[in-house]
Structure formats: structure tokens, C-alpha cells
Chain A
Amino acid sequence: MPPPHANPRYPAAPVPAATARHPVVIVGAGLVGLTLALDLARRGIACTVLDDDDTVSTGSRAICFAKRTLEIFSRLGLGDRMLAKGITWQHGRVFFQDREVFGFDLLPEQGHEHPAFVNLQQYYAEAWLVEACNATGLVDLRWKHRVTGVAQHPDGATLTVGAPDAAYTLHADWLLACDGARSTIRRALDLAFTGQVFQDRFLIADVTMQAAFPTERWFWFDPPFHPGQSVLLHKQPDDVWRIDFQLGPDADPEAEARPENVIPRVRAMLGPDVPFSLEWVSVYTFRCRRLDRFVHGRTIFLGDSAHQVSPFGARGGNGGVQDADNLGWKLAAVLHGAAPESLIATYDAERVPAADENILHSTRATDFISPKTPAARAYRDAVLDLAQRFAFARPLVNSGRLSRPAVLSPSPLHTPDDIAGGAVPGGAVPGSAAPDGPVLCDGKPGWLLRHVAGFCLLVFGAPRPLDLPPGVLPVFIADTPIRGALQDHAGLVRARFGVTPGMAVLLRPDQHVAARLRVPDFALVAAAHRRAMGCD
């Protein structure tokens, strides 16, 4: 068996000589903090990132990266790497006791660059983000710098930081708390973090083995090898398999994490003859909760520091990356002086409902997986009894509703279709993440989302000079091959946006639909752009 994965170790950053003022300080160099740092750097904004550790994620942790996250990482320049290393999957099976109940196919629509999901250890994603952040020259990553105190001011915050050799203070004009579920910043500000506590303990056993299991998500309810509980099996790169055992509320977390107790559980599942080694073990409980709001003056919470979900549905990491996607362009626009500071408040308006959606789905999945009452168990088991024979019962089986991009609706930044007048029924409504689609660029096959950046006006028609407000760049999309236009040869792009020839779609810098316009007329575009920049 290969040795377990060895994390990179980064050198501790030196202590600065004097107290400095920083436009942007990110606390927490995890998945969300690093994504945000890279997003800001790509938009020309320098930032300082403080992390109390000197390495990436310990253990594989968030392994399921959803399509929207892959699109965001592609925009940031890491998409190819994620796809090359990650395990692409779309099928799953559900088992109940000793039988397979049904299989499912996430049925990703054809004609998108990215699949529904890839599985990848979180430490790979973070290590690549670190490399990419360093390459920008705009991200000051300070490893082994722990925040020990926070004082908020109207114009930012003063942080007390402990480094290996000394303590120091720094001023942050904007403080972005990406420091996880046990957020130091959230505690220092004494903010209520409320929601539901779940008593059940779960055991993650990442095992390395050469196994013949297909690349599918397998979920067992009450299997013979782990009676009364649930088990999840999922493949990761490097022949590592995630096995997640439900343990119930009475399990002793320390005892359950010991190899002599983990190995028999795995062996019971795999059978006596399958060689394996333990890669990483973790016993966890979870909560579904959030802050009332994520923007507190010039301190902003993203990811697990703002909201926590159960792991069923892959909504933690993917939700946090979408937070960073949402805030990055807004903060950059404010710091560049292109948008009013009030634009930041729309991060709350858009991401609080998204967090609620994630909490709702993950709470329902958890209630199905670990029924709390005899009645809940009876209904859960009844659903599973019926699901093998009757198709109607299968949608009721909830082993996790897998992460889908949030539709940011309603949002003050979007122009409704009835005002802009540019939509036919169906397609991506304002607030949706822009759907990808196949295009030909000078006859060569490519993908729409590779061609959009900043505020982008998709113009469905032949290239021509257009009078557009500053900061809005057109991308022409034509049905036929025309020089200077992307060719929508399959007709999928226009259909997915729900527009007809002659119309236009304004995309935000985070690739969300801001408006669907009857025509790419200056006044219409300028009004929609102004609104999307929070200037109305």
C-alpha cells in the first residue's frame, strides 16, 4: 500500500516591522479563503491572508466538487487541473438492508464543459489554490499567523495577530472571515450562530485499496454489515475510497477513531480478503445553522464561518465557493471605485437565501438518514420498502440532495424580464448562473463560459459596432459562422438563455444572468448595468 498523502508545509511568514493598513485581509487559508483571495487577485485586488496553520486541509474532507464550483475554478484558471485529477461521476445506487433498491443517474445535460461532479481530496484543491495565489504576486499568504483579537471600527477592523516569534497588530479596511465553523472572528464579535444540532455521530474512514467498485456513489440504509445505521461509499483519486459510517448518538468518538475499531467495520463491509490501509479517520457530528446576516459593517463572513450544513449533499464546500464567487467581484468593484459601498449589502441579500436553501436540503436529508422518532423511521423504511418496485417512491428516498447552483432570486441587482423585455418562456432566468454551452470559435469547438469575463453582454446576432456603457464588453453569438462571433452551432446557447435572435443577455462578473434584454440598446444595457452594480 502506498504511504498516506503527505501535505505540503509552508514556511511561517515573517512578522512585519510596523503596523500596516491593508485594504483586504482574509482570515483562513482554506478552500473558501483561498478561492476568494485568487478571485480578488484576478480582478487586480491585493490581499493579505492569515492562517494559523502551515498547511492545507488535513484529510480529504470536502471531496465532491459540483459543476458550478468547477466552472468557478475554471474561471480562476484551475478547472483543467480539477478535471484531470478528479474522479468524474454521475451514477449512484441506493441499498436497503440486503438488497439494491434502485440506481440513479444525475443525468447531466449534454453540451456542458464540466460534469455534474468530480471527487477530489480538498487538500489538492487547496494546494493548487495556494500555488495560483502565489503566482499572482498579489496575495500575501501568512502561514502560522493566528488572529487573537478583533476590534471593529466604522472603517474596518484592527486585528491582533500571534506569529511564531512575536505578536503584532494590523488594520484591515475590509475583514473577510473565512475561518470555518469555529470562526475566531465570529466568536470575537460574539455573534449568534443558531440552528439545529444533530446528535448522531459519523465516522469517516478513507481507505486505500484496489477495489472493483464502479465509480458511483453507493449509499446503504441499514445494511447487514452495519445494522441499523447508514453507510456511504465514494471514490477519490489515488485509489482512496471514502467510507462514511453512521454511528448513532451514543458512540464514543475517541474509541471509534482508533484503528483497532475502524478496521473491523471496514472489513465487515469489504469482506475478509480485500487488502486495504487506512488513509485518514475522522469522527464527526454536525449542525445546520447560520448567522442572521453575513455582512457586519466591514467584516464579512463566508463559508462555514457564516453557515454550516450536514455533509449529505456536498453543500458545505460548494456553498462556500459560491459565497466567494459572489463577493469577489462586488468587493473589487467597490475598491476600484466603480460601485458604491452599498453593493456589498447585496452579498447578504443573495447568499443568505442560498444558505437557507442548503440548510433546508441538508436538514431534510439528515432527517431521512437518521430518523428521530418511531414515526419518522416507519415512514423512512416504508419509502425504502416501496422504492425497489415502485418508481413513485424513489424521489422520496433522500440520501442527500446534491448541490445545485443557487438561483439568486429575488435580488435587487437583477432586471426583471418584464422590464427588459428580452425573454421567451424557459431558459436561465435573471439570478441563474449562466448555463454553459458548446460554441465554435473560428471553427474550433469550445465552450461559452470560456469566452465571458467581467460584465459581458451576450448579443445574439452578427458582430457590429455597438454603443455600450463603459465596462460592458460584447460577445456576439450567431447561428452561422461569422467572423468575430461565436457560433451557436447546436442552438443550445440561445435555448438555454431563453432568448430569440436579436436579443441580448447581460452577465455579471460571477457569470450570473443580470438581465435579458429585448435589444442591445444603450439605454437598456446601461440601466441594467447600473442596477447590477448596485447604483439604483
Chain B
Amino acid sequence: MPLDTAPRLTDPDALFAALVAAHAGLDEAASRRLDARLVLLLANHIGDAAVLMEAIAVAQAERG
């Protein structure tokens, strides 16, 4: 199953707000570590190595 990049979020604004709120009051290192925990939790939830590798590649390609 390839990486699904079609819109799937029922409430995108709420998700965005939740992500930003989770970082409130954190310094850069703590913020980075929170994101890392989040990535690890989601990666394990997805589980499929091919999807994860594709996601890493897509994220890298979009670097600004």
C-alpha cells in the first residue's frame, strides 16, 4: 500500500491547532523531542516499512 497523500483529515484546523498547542512553552530542544516522540508513535502505528520510507523520501523532497 503506497503512502496515502489524499486529504483524510476530518478537521484539519483542529489538528493543526493541537500540534501547535502541544509545543506551547517548550524550548527548541524540548519541542524537537516532542516531535520525535510523535513521529515514533505514528511510525509504529503505521508499521509498514515501505510506507514509512516513502514518507521520509517525500518529506525530504519538499524541504524548503
Contact = CB atoms under 8 A, between A and B. Distances in A.
A374 B44 contact: no
B40 A378 contact: no
Contacts of B40: 379, 382-383, 386, 393, 396
A383 B39 CA distance: 10
B32 A378 contact: yes
A378 B44 contact: no
A453 B25 CA distance: 68
Contacts of B35: 378
Nearest to A391: B44
Interface residues of B, number: 10
A383 B37 CA distance: 7
B29 interface: yes
A381 B36 contact: yes
Q: Quick one: which of B29, B35, B36, B44 has the most chain A CB within 10 A?
A: B36
Nearest to A393: B40
A392 B36 CA distance: 15
A520 B4 CA distance: 53
Nearest to B33: A378
Contact of A381 (B33, B41, B44): B33
B44 A382 contact: no
A6 interface: no
B27 to A, nearest CB: 12
B25 to A, nearest CB: 17
Nearest to A375: B32
A385 B33 contact: yes
Contacts, number: 31
B29 A379 contact: no
Q: How large is the interface on A (under 10, 10 to 19, 20 to 34, 35 or more residues)?
A: 10 to 19
A386 B32 CA distance: 15
Interface string A498-522: 0000000000000000000000000
Contacts of B33: 378, 381-382, 385
A379 B40 CA distance: 8
Contacts of A375: 32, 36
Q: Quick one: which of A375, A378, A381, A393 has the most chain B CB within 10 A?
A: A378
Contacts of B32: 374-375, 378
Contacts of A378: 29, 32-33, 35-36
Q: Quick one: which of A375, A379, A396 has the most chain B CB within 10 A?
A: A379
Contacts of B41: 386, 390
A500 B54 CA distance: 42
Interface in B9-33: 29, 32-33
Closest 5 CB pairs of A and B: A382-B36, A378-B32, A382-B37, A392-B44, A378-B36
26 contacts: A374-B29, A374-B32, A375-B32, A375-B36, A378-B29, A378-B32, A378-B33, A378-B35, A378-B36, A379-B36, A379-B39, A379-B40, A381-B33, A382-B33, A382-B36, A382-B37, A382-B39, A382-B40, A383-B36, A383-B40, A385-B33, A385-B37, A386-B37, A386-B41, A390-B41, A393-B40
Given A383-B40, A386-B40, 18 more contacts: A375-B32, A378-B32, A378-B33, A378-B35, A379-B36, A379-B39, A379-B40, A381-B33, A382-B33, A382-B36, A382-B37, A382-B39, A382-B40, A383-B36, A385-B33, A386-B37, A386-B41, A393-B44
